Amino acid sequence: MIFTIFKKELKDTLRDRRTIIAMIVVPVLVFPILLALSTTVTKYFDDKQKEEVLKIALVSDHTENQFTQRLSAIPDSLGPKELIFRQDTLGLKKEISMDSIQLAFIIPSNFDAEQADNRQTTIQVYHKGVNLGNKDRVENYLSIIENTLLAERFERLNLDKQLIDPINQQYIDISSEKEIIGKVAGGFLPYLFIIFGFIGCMYPAIDLFTGEKERKTLETLLTTPVPRWKILIGKMLVISLSGIAAAVFALLGMFAGLRLFNIVDVPGLSSIIDGILTPSFILGLLVLLIPLTIFFAGIMIPATIYAKSFKEAQSVLTPVNFIIFLPAFVGLLPNIELDYTTAFIPIVNIVLATKEMVAGTIDPILLIISYIVMVAVAAIAVLFSYKRFGKESNIIS
């Protein structure tokens, strides 16, 4: 009877366009679309910034000082620029705020003398902090000028540059590329499937309980000679399956987007993704998703049974949505690892376990503990749903 109810509810669910969109269409398309938009927009603004002529005001009593000469010598391949020589700062701030001039260098009149005496010279730079790209270009210009002046200074003093660099640092990272991806981006994956797993469960839960109450079909179903717990389990299986499908399609959409749009500067990213998407990883992920989605179903069903309309059910589940997402942020925080403490915290343990699985550094004992904890939490949620489903006042609208 459970399987019969499951088939019946699954057919009804698959006929609902909202559920199909939330379960398959949105998860599959959202990340390729977002990645395509982000790469396109980023490339557009980068290209536009490189082609934009930067108007730079040079405020100095002497236009032929070393600073202006070196700035003029910087090739336009680093970004086209137009130098405007000024004698004073009158009206300069207004021009920069109006964007008629993007930057201004205030060059002291004794710049050449201080450089000849091997002293430090203060250069004031006027800019608008909101134009981050302009500031980056200026820092690049200043770095080039500073390096040329420093090289001349060492040559003039007949000194070796190693005198100011007593230590040559060499960092040798023994982490594999898979571990780097796991630690950096692995925290995003559980956040992803928690979001879509929850959304994938939500719409079928509302339709199978609140929707049936609105359509006056739930009372008819309960009059059949089938134990109430079998009806509950049949419906819950459909809700959990929808959540698993939404999470899996979201992950597939994200990995497909990474393969199509090279937004992560990692050599051999495609081979790394292929190395992550192994049968053992997919199986382990599904094992973690099953109790997670059952837990989602278990906390949603009481709310949807209590609600008297589709709109009310959505209003009730929205705060739950935010509460569930909070532990998912833990995976994005640095220096929080799966240990014998975090393994006992529901949802947090799933987030951290997935992160370790992506990196390939998962401890099997901690994985088992996390799974047992989530199974126990899911069982409590199912029991709570059964208690609420058994109350006539909740069933009859």
* 199-233 pLDDT tens trace: 888 888 888 888 888 887 777 777 778 888 888 88
| Phi, psi for 352 (deg, rounded to 5) | -70, -35
| Tokens, residue 204 | 């079928």
- How is residue 98 annotated by DSSP? T
Q: Hey, which residues does 82 pair with through a beta bridge? A: 55
Return contacts of 281-289, CB within 8 angstroms, 24+ apart.
Answer: 281/357, 281/358, 284/357, 284/362, 284/367, 285/193, 285/251, 285/354, 285/357, 286/244, 286/248, 287/371, 288/350, 288/353, 288/354, 288/370, 288/371, 288/374, 289/193, 289/197, 289/243, 289/244, 289/247, 289/248
Closest CA to 292 of 379, 362, 184, 389: 379
Terminus-to-terminus CA distance in the chain, angstroms? Answer: 26
Q: DSSP string of 46-95?
A: HHHHHHSPEEEEEE-S-TTSHHHHHHHHS-GGG--EEEEEESS-TTHHHH
CB 172 within 8 A of CB 268: no
Question: Which CATH number, 3.40.190, 1.20.120, 1.10.20, 3.30.1460, labels domain 54-164?
Answer: 3.40.190
Comma-separated ranges of CATH 3.40.190 domains in the chain: 54-164
Question: CA distances (Å), 269 to each of 6, 35, 79, 138, 188, in order?
Answer: 41, 15, 30, 33, 17
Residue 44: CB atoms within 10 Å: 10
Facing residues of 57 across strands? 84, 104
Q: Phi first, then psi: what are they for 175, rounded to 5°?
A: -70, 140
What is the length of the chain?
Answer: 397
Q: Which residues lie across from 106 on neighbouring strands?
A: 59, 124
- Whether the CB-CB separation of 86 and 59 falls below 8 Å is answered with yes
Alpha-carbon distance 253 to 89, whole Å?
54
Taking every pair of Cα atoms in the chain, the longest distance, rounded to a whole number of angstroms, is 100
The pLDDT profile of the chain, 397 residues, written as one tens digit per residue, is: 788 888 878 887 777 777 777 677 777 777 677 767 766 776 776 677 667 788 888 998 877 888 988 888 888 877 788 888 888 888 888 888 888 888 889 998 888 888 888 888 888 888 887 776 677 788 888 889 888 888 888 888 887 777 777 777 777 777 666 666 666 556 677 777 788 888 888 888 888 888 888 887 777 777 778 888 888 888 899 999 988 888 888 877 777 766 665 555 555 555 656 666 677 777 877 888 889 999 999 999 888 888 888 888 888 888 887 788 787 777 667 778 888 988 998 888 888 888 888 777 788 899 999 999 999 999 999 998 888 876 666 565 5
Instruction: At 100, list the tokens.
Output: 């008629």
Which position has the token pair 């134009």? 131
Q: Give CA separation, 86 vs 60, 94, 97, 106, 135, in Å.
A: 7, 14, 17, 9, 20
Q: Phi, psi at residue 125, to the nearest 5°? A: -120, 120
List strands edge to edge, sheet with 103-106: 81-86, 54-59, 103-106, 124-126
Output the six-digit token pair for 209.
Answer: 């309980």
pTM across the whole model: 0.66
239-277: pLDDT as tens digits: 999 888 888 888 777 777 666 655 555 555 556 566 666
